[in-house]
Copies of this chain bind each other. A is one copy, B any other.
């Protein structure tokens, strides 16, 4: 039997497919661009030339591959220039229910899906593979990844460590409920690092960009103005009051996520006897960075509320919908669950329209560069 059991996070409903994620997540490309300095440092610091074996790139939690596409095009260009004969394999990874057809369609079709010209059309000897397996397992063979990347994925926990009675997200949890989430996040961070250590070649590098809590206590949608998760929580509580959802469903609607702090990320590296250190990993660089909310920023300029409010809510919906939907009782018909989720987002949009200047989904991530010993 494999050491790691099947992941618990594969849910009845995952994200919308068909490139939806890339289309509505304008902010993600900015976040990825914001990691270019670390990616450049990683690639520059690697011994790439003078070899003919495959150069393996890994993308953990890739979604439809649209947001990371330009980054990988740049990496392919750099590796090809330094080692013209090395085949390059881009290994995408996400949960089984991810829309891999959108990913392969974008990369292989003749027309430019997602407005992106596929690097497959411009580079020979480049291969694309996908693993539809949770990154809480080892998903690629040992020593097959030279450069691993992950953006806005590793804040998802391997499982929901219990319910949160007063909130929909661990950012609002207290006492033992908060402890359970912190403990799961600690365990999961180590699991992620150990599997990636196995997958990396000696001398390989990782750049991770992870939703987190910064030194000022800020996190996604909580950077001034109203807090996105508090607003969401208030709407769900109102839906309970109105008898639309049950108390049990409310408690069940919980993101299996945790926003780690710098200390959380550092922990396995700080202890010299840790398994992560023994596996040869070291943390070369870490810092938190903010990327503004492109929707809110545009609204501040245009004051066009009819553009801002629905687009803003769509972007939020693209990654939150499955959590809300799956929190509702499976005994409800799918259509009814869909209607309740629709109702939630329409109330959220009303909330945005009521106080538009208070809403912003600025991104707080920790950006880090990790190396495996040669």
Spell out A's residues near B (CB within 8 Å): 1-3, 5-7, 10, 54, 87, 89, 91, 96-101, 103-105, 107-110, 120-124, 127-134, 138-142, 144
Contacts and interface: CB of A to CB of B under 8 A. Distances in A.
Contact of A110 (B6, B91, B122): B6
Contact of A98 (B101, B107, B133): B101
Contacts of A5: 110
Nearest to A17: B101
- Copies per complex of this chain: 2
A214 B98 CA distance: 42
A322 to B, nearest CB: 14
Contact of A101 (B99, B105, B109, B139): B99
A108 B124 contact: no
A127 B139 CA distance: 6
A116 B140 CA distance: 23
Nearest to A86: B141
Contacts of A96: 101, 104-105, 107-109
21 contacts: A1-B121, A2-B123, A10-B105, A10-B109, A54-B144, A89-B141, A91-B129, A96-B104, A96-B107, A97-B101, A98-B101, A100-B104, A100-B130, A103-B132, A107-B132, A108-B134, A127-B133, A127-B138, A127-B141, A129-B129, A130-B131
A134 to B, nearest CB: 7
B131 A127 contact: yes
Contacts of A124: 1-3
A311 B132 CA distance: 31
Nearest to A106: B96
Nearest to A126: B2
B121 A104 contact: no
Contact of A133 (B54, B108, B139, B141): B108
Contacts of A139: 127
A1 B100 contact: no
A128 B133 contact: yes
B105 A97 contact: yes
A295 B206 CA distance: 53
Nearest to A118: B6
A133 B109 CA distance: 9
Nearest to A99: B101
A214 B101 CA distance: 36
Nearest to A122: B1
B101 A132 contact: yes
A196 to B, nearest CB: 14
A5 B134 CA distance: 33
